Amino acid sequence: MTLAEKILAAHSGKDKVSPGEFLNVRVDLVLANDVTAPLAIKEFQRLGVNKVYDSKRVVMVPDHFCPNKDILSAEQAKVIREFARQHSLVYFEVGRMGIEHVLLPEQGLVLPGEVVVGADSHTCTYGALGAFATGMGSTDIAVAMATGEIWMKVPPTIKFVYYGKLGKWVGGKDLILYTIGDIGVDGALYAVMEFTGGVIDGLSMDGRFTMANMAIEAGAKAGIFSVDSETKKYVKARANRSYKVYESDVHAKYAKVIEYDVSKIEPQVALPHLPSNVKPISRVGNVKIDQVVIGSCTNGRLDDLRLAARILKGRQVSPEVRCIIIPGTQQVYLDALREGLIETFIKAGAVVSTPTCGPCLGGYMGVLAAGERCVSTTNRNFVGRMGSPQSEVYLANPAVAAASAVLGRIASPEEIIR
């Protein structure tokens, strides 16, 4: 079996499972946020049950419109706050919270070999830890909160092998954008993307989180990495419960195996209006921009902020550009503060926000007007994603985003630091 199949078999009481098979799967963690939880809570209450299956395994994170941007978002947050208190759930209030998919691994709430479901499509982020993690609808999440189980079909697995040597300024964001550009937004539809190869072995955890996060942008059910020394080092500092590591069998059956020589990959940019509309930075051309966003559950971790700071240190954001930087959690914010990164950003003329999803989904803290263009380290650039349907979003890594902020147009970091 593949890694994903082994995890699902273990969580369904079976010795073996195969793609296409329907299972009842025991879950280790259930997640919802301020946008998706209220509907899940409403459906949970309709079930007529008195309590969740395990209060320590249900997590609520108000991160999309929090701190509350208006009365409606305040009401949404109030619903989940009261429900979390009533059922003694794991809950992160403003001041202690962060962007959910950065926060949960940081807090040791997700561990290798587990099954995690969340009412958010980017729940697949946790596959970086060797977990089977997937997003589901709010009604499915309601049932998971009540029973501790989900009903699902075993997905096939596509194996992606990355070999060669990464170029300068090329990281996890570029690898996943290049992959999505190659296979398309439906290239891994309802499949598991298993990321392997020598390049992956040398990739930081932050880079792996970025890749797993965007598996959904290729239509995948999950993205997953094997557990290695890097994973164990990350988990050891955070885990407060035991876990089990699973590995793909040598002769596991894959739906497809796709290989990439990364030495040929430049920093990538996804042009409007699909994450698959990818070009290498050298072929993007002269695209003037109005805004840059560095953050989100894709690239709001400490490594991402360090990368942006390397570009911005001693330089100024173009007077024609708004640069918004959003640390993924309070801990990331504090670590960046201690390292002097926040000072670098502010001196460069950027604004630094408290952790929030905010602009990624066109919520607040960076909504675009008609005709405006934004370079963003987020994960989606659909029509109207960050505001007006007449605006444009270009996806890139933090170094490209920072260089673009300085030069006022989409730019390579090579133009700033050679």
Q: Is the distance from CB of 358 to CB of 366 less than 8 angstroms? A: yes
The percentage of the chain sitting over the pLDDT mark of 70, rounded to a whole number, equals: 100
**β-pairing, 268-270 with 278-280?**
antiparallel
Collapse the DSSP code of 238 into the 3-class scheme (helix H, G, I; strand E, B; otherwise coil) and give the result: coil
pLDDT at 418 over 90: no
User: Residue 266: which residues within 8 A CB-CB, separation 6 or more?
Assistant: 167, 170, 174, 280, 281, 282, 412
Please tell me the predicted confidence (pLDDT) of residue 299.
97
Of 171, 168, 169, 188, give the one whose Cα is nearest residue 180.
188
Contacts 24+ apart (CB under 8 A), 130-134: 130/3, 130/224, 130/225, 130/226, 130/227, 130/231, 130/245, 130/246, 131/7, 131/28, 131/224, 132/4, 132/7, 132/8, 132/11, 132/192, 132/222, 132/224, 133/212, 133/222, 134/221, 134/222
| Residue range 37-64: mean pLDDT, rounded | 95
pLDDT tens across 220-237, in order?
Answer: 999 999 999 999 999 999
In CATH terms, 3-260 corresponds, of 3.30.70.3040, 3.40.50.300, 3.40.1190.10, 3.30.499.10, to 3.30.499.10
The length of the chain is: 418
**Percent of the chain beyond pLDDT 90?**
99
In this prediction, residue 248 carries a pLDDT of: 96
Q: Per-residue pLDDT tens for 294-316?
A: 999 999 999 999 999 999 999 99
Q: What is the pLDDT of residue 83?
A: 97
In this prediction, residue 153 carries a pLDDT of 97
Mean pLDDT to the nearest integer, 259-277: 96
Q: What is the pLDDT confidence band of residue 334, given thresholds at 50, 70 and 90?
A: very high
pLDDT of residue 159: 98
State residue 245's pLDDT score: 96
State residue 392's pLDDT score: 97
Q: Which two tokens stand for residue 82?
A: 């009261």
Q: Alpha-carbon distance 339 to 357, whole Å?
A: 23
Q: In DSSP terms, which residues pair with 162 in a beta bridge?
A: 260
The pLDDT value given to residue 395: 98
136-153, pLDDT tens digit by residue? Answer: 999 999 999 999 999 999
Instruction: Write down the CATH superfamily of domain 267-415.
Output: Aconitase, domain 3 (3.30.499.10)
CA 344 – CA 28 distance, rounded (Å)? 40
Q: What is the pLDDT of residue 317?
A: 98
What does the pLDDT read at residue 388? 95
Judged against a pLDDT cut of 80, whether residue 273 lies above it is answered with: yes
Identify which of 154, 128, 144 has the alpha carbon closest to the alpha carbon of residue 221.
154
The whole-number average pLDDT for the span 26-30 is 98
Q: Is residue 337 predicted with pLDDT exceeding 80?
A: yes
> Is residue 117 predicted with pLDDT exceeding 80?
yes
State whether residue 322 is helix, strand or coil.
strand
Give span(s): CATH 3.30.499.10, the chain. Answer: 3-260, 267-415
Rounded mean pLDDT, 107-121: 97
Averaged over 59-80, what is the pLDDT? 95
Per-residue confidence band for 168, with pLDDT thresholds at 50, 70 and 90: very high
